[in-house]
Structure 1
Amino acid sequence: MATERELSDFLKSVEKRAFKRSLYHVRNTEAALDIVQDSMLKLAEHYGDKPPGELPMLFQRILSNCTLDWFRRQKVRNALFTNMGDFEPDGDSDDAFDLLEAYAGPEGSEGTESAEDTVGRAQILHEIEAEILELPARQREAFLMRYWEEMNVAETAAAMGCSEGSVKTHCSRAVQALGKALKARGIRP
């Protein structure tokens, strides 16, 4: 069982190498720092009671998983804004509209996009980001947690300190507000 001192010494000994490893993977200083910090917190929180000899392998696995999670979030964020779908939900049910499916690009279109399409998508992304900033705080928070951070309804509700029904309502209203605002800007599927 590792003592607090052994855990602290271990984390100090690996922080610089872990940062460089993450930086080489993600090529973003802030993201690399976040990945290393998250990895260290997870090790301390979940595995701090393990013997000191097990810490290096556990930490490397956690660091790898955190890096993969970062890439998955980036892929989702990019997919969200690859191809604009219809923001309007079909009916009153939350299950009738899946934002990720609405934004997913056509299958088999990887690598076939023209420069004009790429620039157009970048402009649309900029306009979407501007509209997200205009959402009321709770709607923006719920929307980002659910669709950018890939948290489920229960996790989002716990993080926001509200009911699952409130999360669904905030997300639904955010999606409708974004759809209307973007259509008003002339952005259509």
Structure 2
Amino acid sequence: MRAEQERAFREFAGERALWLRRSAYLLCGDWHLAEDLVQNTLLKLYRAWRRVDLSTVDSYARRALLRVWLDERRRPWRRAERNDADPPETGDAAGDPAVLGQRAWRRDAVLRALAEVPPRQRAVLVLRYWEDLPTAEVAAALGCSEGTVKSQASRGLQNLRAAIAESDPDLARAVARRSR
């Protein structure tokens, strides 16, 4: 790779690493795994940097992150063990800049509920509502039709609401009052 391309990649990685990490966390629900996913994504992106169109590099990185996450979920050792317990130590609330200022109990309830949503629906919810992508871009990133994105988003929101209502009825009532 030429020095100019190397510099462009380093700038991209420096600017987008936090964005990729947040997206990865929303997909997997684990900060450590999210960091691993971002590292693998950046590695794949680095290998393909010469061929990447810089006008669509964000879309390419998003698609690579989704594929790395899906590959990680398919690994056999991920299926063998399910970690439902809370970790013994608590994370630093300031470590998640995307939710600074929000109340910790709401954030935790929503993230726990998001982890209950099936993976494909979770990916649609993250891309559509967190990343604020149009339906067409979500469909392109996931390799499906726009109708599939819409139906997965609808079902995902229903499942998210149900998971929130089950785990935290107070938050469910607060969300219902806001939507009126």
Question: What band does the TM-score fall into relative to the shorter chain?
Answer: 0.3 to 0.5
Bigger Cα Rg: 1
Name the structure with the higher helix share.
2
Q: TM-score, normalised by structure 1?
A: 0.44
